[in-house]
Chain A
Amino acid sequence: MGTHRLLEVSNLSVEFETYGGVVQAVRGVDFSVDAGEVLAIVGESGCGKSVTVQSIMGIIPMPPGKITGGSAKLKGSEILGLDAEAANQFRGKEIGMIFQDPMTSLNPTMTIGAQIAETLKVHRGLSTKQASEIASELLIRTRIPEAQKRLNQYPFEFSGGMLQRAMIAQSLACSPSLLIADEPTTALDVTIQAQILDLLKELQSRDGMAIILITHDLAVVARTAHNVCVMYAGQIVEQGSVDDIFYKSAHPYTLGLKLAMPSNVSQQNKKLEPIPGSPPDLFSPPSGCGYAARCPHAMRICHKENPPLFSDPSQPFHAARCWLQAPGAPKTQGLYQHNLIASHGQ
């Protein structure tokens, strides 16, 4: 494990033409995923996580969307800018996708069973009978009770979490080598969530399926991911192993996120501490660090120049887009203390 490169994304940039101007939603994103790896992408709401993966899948509406640069290679071959037919070849089959909004991938006028069976018929050439048998197995595996009856129901008859599980079932139908899961468990209670995460982990370790997991739930990241990318304002601001990100956060934004979580301490209802301020306007992103206006450690250079990703030569895999991590920069006491606070409960 860890040697077979499945997906390599480099310098991906995506814009949207809107009434008010051009939104630079994704600004030069690089990451890669190996077979059997679970990579989590976390970050601020609106920072470009969904747009990043939708561009890879070739499902950004163009116009108004436009991929202005970069590449995405699946098993070595380019998948950005493929024509519709070529894109359909890998979509659903090589890469399965669970959408953040279930209704973008489920058809409201078709029963759940027919939709999953359709995927199986198209990509795996199964007969109607075989397809509906597998569809029912998939619903059982994703813990939907009374799978047989549920297959004949329409999306509006499902609860939020049942729709999510139906979509997970559909995305797994063709045993993809890469699963892209955009907020797959937001509507699941923690017991079913744990079962679904275990199912995904089983597919990952048994079949070597790779997973890109987009989520705001840091507990889900802690439970599932090997590696993590933290995004902010269209860029990756920190990346590393899950332990690097949780215990040795190197970017002030990552720390800000950890400090904003409620603590599970009885009676002690300390007011939650959101990061002050708001993210930069993506119509005209700042020339300096995108986090400078909100960062407690901002220095003069931060407002002028956007930092590159820096890493310690002894740990090249853990990198942060922050001037504090530049070689020779003063090591701030602040970051170190915050890490202590964040990892020992508040």
Chain B
Amino acid sequence: MIETKNLKKHFQIGRNQTLHAVDGISISIAENEILGLVGESGSGKSTFGKTLIGLHERTAGDAFFNGLPLPQKYTAKDHLRYSADIQMIFQDPYASLNPRMTVLDIIGEGLALKGIPRADIQEEVGFWLRRVGLHPDHMSRFPHEFSGGQRQRIGIARAMIIKPKFVVCDEPISALDVSVQAQVVNLLEDLKASLGLTLLFIAHDLSMVRYISDRMAVMYLGTLVESGPSDAVFFEPKHPYTRLLIQSNPEADPVLERTRPSAALTGEITSPINMGPGCRFADRCPEALSHCKSVTPEPRLIASDHLVACHLYDEA
């Protein structure tokens, strides 16, 4: 349903400086599938999501929705046309909600654009507020009157109310307590089953990503280092970065956490500004080989549907 080929988004910062935020991502998400996207903070996950829905112009590469190419640069008309099918839940809930609009107008905006009568919108918004664990009375309030997690749920209701086909969820549950998280995740699964929804689920909570996703992809400095079925990536990670990530996943068990060694500080984090060739993880990789710094590893299929970009898996 969604496919990208070698998608790139570079930012020009200052004179002669290029920041390779997303640097050649090829990915496909099947209809009715949840793809979890994890990775280092600053590795380009939000930028990838925003580029997919047309908030950033693509620097290079292609993107397809249901087999049809998406525009490289969206016009106002394109935004209107695709917003019925493609939505995004933003990482920063406050910045993405208009402070001067009531919750009713924010969540109901998509329906109003379709010309649905106000009374019906009100009813529908009330229904959705309840589905995300808020009260219909909250409708007349403004965003600043809500807690962080309540705002996040307003963003979820806004994206889902128009029954889109594909949603980019950027950290959609990070501000919720675990019980409300469970409620929202169950809601997403219900929508997946009842509406055939397809999701790109960006999050840092590895246990939750494993739980909800069919497949999981791992980003590091603008590139995809590993992707495959969620259980394979979580329980048998192959790329050294993925292994480091999974090993660092803390658990809700104080005794266990007290015995966990402190974070391994290996090497400087590589900068995405003006990058050269070679593996981007080479400066920190405990298993680096002699040619890792000069030759870029290509993604390689190591098991059915399991891709890894690392020289350790090169054919001998």
Contact = CB atoms under 8 A, between A and B. Distances in A.
Interface residues of B, number: 72
A222 B251 contact: yes
Interface in B134-178: 135, 137, 140-141, 145-150, 153, 171, 174-178
B186 interface: yes
A247 B257 CA distance: 14
Given A101-B94, A160-B46, A257 B179 contact: yes
User: Of residues B137, B150, B263, which shows the largest number of chain A Cβ atoms within 10 Å of its Cβ?
Assistant: B263
B177 A43 contact: yes
Contacts of A309: none
B175 A45 contact: yes
B304 to A, nearest CB: 16
B42 A261 contact: no
A189 interface: yes
A104 B93 CA distance: 12
Contacts of B42: 145, 158-159, 161-162
A189 B245 contact: yes
Interface in A142-157: 143, 145-146, 149, 152-153, 157
A274 B41 contact: no
Given A145-B269, A216-B177, A257-B178, A187 B171 contact: yes
A220 interface: yes
B13 A157 contact: yes
B254 A243 contact: yes
Interface string A190-217: 1111110110000000000000000011
B204 A272 contact: no
Given A187-B174, A189-B38, A272-B185, A45 B140 contact: no
Contact of A222 (B40, B252, B268): B252
A74 to B, nearest CB: 25
A233 to B, nearest CB: 12
Contacts of A217: 205
Interface stretch (B2-10, B54-62, B206-214): B206-214
A84 to B, nearest CB: 20
Contact of A189 (B17, B39, B255): B39
B182 A274 contact: yes
Contacts of B40: 189, 191-192
Interface in A222-242: 222-223, 242
User: Of residues A42, A183, A192, A219, which shows the largest number of chain B Cβ atoms within 10 Å of its Cβ?
Assistant: A219
A46 B135 CA distance: 12
Interface string A260-276: 11101011010111110
Contacts of B149: 45-46, 216
Nearest to A50: B147
A229 to B, nearest CB: 14
A145 B270 contact: yes
Interface residues of A, number: 73
B245 to A, nearest CB: 6
Interface in B197-256: 204-208, 210-211, 231, 234-235, 244-245, 248-256
User: Of residues A43, A162, A187, which shows the largest number of chain B Cβ atoms within 10 Å of its Cβ?
Assistant: A187
A216 B176 contact: yes
B295 interface: no
Contacts of A187: 41, 91, 171, 174, 204
Interface of B: 11, 13-14, 17, 38-42, 46-47, 91-95, 133, 135, 137, 140-141, 145-150, 153, 171, 174-183, 185-186, 204-208, 210-211, 231, 234-235, 244-245, 248-257, 260, 262-263, 265, 268-271, 273
28 contacts: A20-B137, A45-B133, A46-B146, A101-B92, A145-B268, A145-B270, A146-B271, A146-B273, A149-B14, A159-B47, A160-B41, A183-B175, A187-B174, A190-B204, A191-B244, A192-B40, A195-B263, A216-B175, A219-B253, A222-B250, A222-B252, A223-B250, A264-B207, A267-B231, A271-B186, A274-B186, A278-B133, A281-B135
Given A186-B171, A195-B263, A222-B252, 11 more contacts: A44-B177, A45-B133, A45-B153, A102-B92, A103-B95, A162-B41, A162-B42, A243-B255, A247-B254, A261-B207, A274-B183
Interface of A: 16, 18-20, 42-46, 49-51, 100-104, 143, 145-146, 149, 152-153, 157-162, 165, 183, 186-195, 197-198, 216-223, 242-243, 246-247, 256-258, 260-262, 264, 266-267, 269, 271-275, 278, 281, 343
Q: Which 4 pairs show the lowest CB-CB distances between chains A and B?
A: A161-B41, A45-B149, A272-B182, A194-B263
